[in-house]
Structures are given as structure tokens and as C-alpha cells.
């Protein structure tokens, strides 16, 4: 039984061909294509409003140098939101429950922010490793601690997204299994459990959107430190 709960996180394959590439490419086909007309339909208008608001929130604390990342960060956020939301549908696969995929997003982008800081302002970038006013005996220890915390950042990004989505999917499957088991035995309890499942599904929809936003927001904060 426990093995079947975790089968949903296994990367699907057909004739030995991994289907995760299709799961990653499919969201890009679902977005409506913007039109050059002055008046668009409601779907495109809502999409443009959401993209503009999200971009403004992400770019607000950044300098003009960091605004070059606006397209990349906004596209990544919308992509993660779409993947997470599609993963809540029945009989679907959520690529962002794979730690390897999330680390593939987190490590290169985090490394790019570090390289930008080292290239543009190396003194300020290295100054983050040693807080101002540190006592001399604590300098070696604090440098080691800050260096470790710097290299843990991409791991924290990937693990946070993976753990939150994995825990939500497992909880939904556990409660759904309980509903099917209790339905012929205790219908009243099963109905109450189904109500809890509905509320949990709404919560997971919010978590899917919030976690994608937090992932990109933390990247923008790392970029802010280095620009």
C-alpha cells in the first residue's frame, strides 16, 4: 500500500521513453497567444493583467540592472504555476515533485546571480560573508557559516518546492483512499472526510501557486543582493 502511494511520483514512460519531456512542454501549448489588436478577449486581458502585476511585484525591489531578468523570472513563475496546477488533475504527473528537476532550475539561476555579483561588485559580494562589526575571534567561524549558508540556498529552493508539493499530493491521496474505504462502512464519516478532501484540494491549489511565487521571489532576492 505504501509503495502505491509513492507510485504517482515515478516518472512515467512509454515503450521505455520518458514522458517527463511532454509533461514539461505541454504547459506552453495552453497559453493563449497575445494579439496585436487594441481590444482583446477576457482571457488574454486577464493573462496580461496577471503577468504585469507579477512582474511589478518581482521587479520592485531590484535595481535597473536586475530588470533584465524580468522576462526570465516571470516566465519561470508562470511555468511553475501551470505545472503545479496541472499536477492536481487526476491521472496526471507533476514534474516539480522531482527534486532533480527543481535543482535543475535552482542551481543554474542561483549560480548566475552569484557570478553576476562577483563580476560586477566583488567587494560587496564577498562582504556578505562577513557581517560588519564581527569580533576578530569569530571571523573564521562566521566566514565558514556564511559560505555554507550561501551554498545551501539552491538546495533549499529545490527541496522546499519538492517537499511542499509531495506532501500535498500524498495527503490528498491518503484522504481520498480513506473516503473510498469508509464509504460502504460509515457513509456519514465518509461524507465528512470528502468535505475535508475538498477543502484540502482548495488549499493545495493555493499552495501550488504560492510555492511557485516563493521560488521565483527568493531568486529575485538573491539577485537583489548581487546587483
- Can you tell me the distance from the alpha carbon of 172 to that of 183, in angstroms, rounded to the nearest whole number? 16
- List pLDDT tens digits, range 113-122: 989 888 888 7
Instruction: Give the whole-angstrom CA distance, residue 104 versus residue 111.
Output: 11
% of the chain residues with pLDDT over 90: 21
Full-model pTM:
0.83
Query: What letter would DSSP give residue 138?
Result: G
Cβ density class 49-70: b for 16+ within 10 Å, e for less? eeeeebbeebbeebeeebeebb
Count of residues in the chain? 227
Q: Is the pLDDT of residue 133 over 90?
A: no
Q: Which of 102-106, 124-128, 198-202 has the lowest mean pLDDT?
A: 124-128
> In the prediction, which pLDDT does 111 show?
93
Instruction: Reply yes or no on whether the pLDDT at 106 is more than 60.
Output: yes
Query: Which residue has better confidence, 25 or 211?
Result: 211
Check pLDDT > 80 for residue 178: yes
Question: HSE of 34 in the Cβ direction (CA atoms, 13 Å)?
Answer: 8
Measured CA to CA, the distance from residue 178 to residue 180 in angstroms comes to 6
Q: What percent of the chain has pLDDT over 70?
A: 92
Burial of 180 (0-12, 13-18, 19+ CB in 10 A): exposed
User: Structural domain tally of the chain?
Assistant: 1
**Residue 7 reports pLDDT greater than 80:** no
Give the domain range for residue 86. 1-226
Grid cell listed for 90: 487526476
CA dist 174 and 197 (Å) reads 10
pLDDT at 3 over 70: no
pLDDT value of position 169: 86
Specify the pLDDT at position 1. 44
Question: Looking at residues 196-206, what average pLDDT do you find?
Answer: 92
pLDDT at position 108? 94
- Give per-residue pLDDT as tens, 23-70: 787 777 777 776 677 767 777 778 788 888 888 888 888 888 888 888
Amino acid at each position: 500500500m505504501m509503495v502505491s502511494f509513492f507510485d504517482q511520483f515515478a516518472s512515467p514512460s512509454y515503450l521505455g521513453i520518458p514522458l517527463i519531456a511532454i509533461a514539461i512542454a505541454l504547459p506552453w501549448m495552453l497559453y493563449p497567444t497575445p494579439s496585436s489588436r487594441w481590444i482583446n478577449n477576457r482571457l488574454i486581458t486577464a493573462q496580461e493583467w496577471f503577468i504585469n502585476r507579477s512582474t511589478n511585484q518581482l521587479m520592485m525591489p531590484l535595481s535597473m540592472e536586475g530588470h533584465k531578468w524580468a522576462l526570465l523570472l516571470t516566465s519561470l513563475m508562470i511555468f511553475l504555476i501551470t505545472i503545479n496546477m496541472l499536477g492536481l488533475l487526476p491521472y496526471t504527473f507533476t514534474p516539480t515533485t522531482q527534486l532533480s528537476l527543481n535543482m535543475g532550475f535552482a542551481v543554474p539561476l542561483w549560480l548566475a546571480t552569484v557570478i553576476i555579483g562577483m563580476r560586477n561588485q566583488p567587494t560587496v559580494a564577498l562582504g556578505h560573508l562577513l557581517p560588519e562589526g564581527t569580533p576578530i575571534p569569530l571571523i573564521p567561524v562566521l566566514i565558514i557559516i556564511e559560505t555554507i549558508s550561501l551554498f545551501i540556498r539552491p538546495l533549499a529552493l529545490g527541496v522546499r518546492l519538492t517537499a511542499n508539493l509531495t506532501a500535498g499530493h500524498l495527503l490528498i491521496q491518503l484522504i481520498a483512499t480513506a473516503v473510498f474505504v469508509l464509504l460502504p462502512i460509515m457513509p456519514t464519516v465518509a461524507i465528512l472526510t470528502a468535505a475535508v478532501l475538498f477543502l484540502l484540494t482548495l488549499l493545495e491549489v493555493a499552495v501550488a501557486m504560492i510555492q511557485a511565487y516563493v521560488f521565483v521571489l527568493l531568486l529575485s532576492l538573491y539577485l537583489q543582493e548581487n546587483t
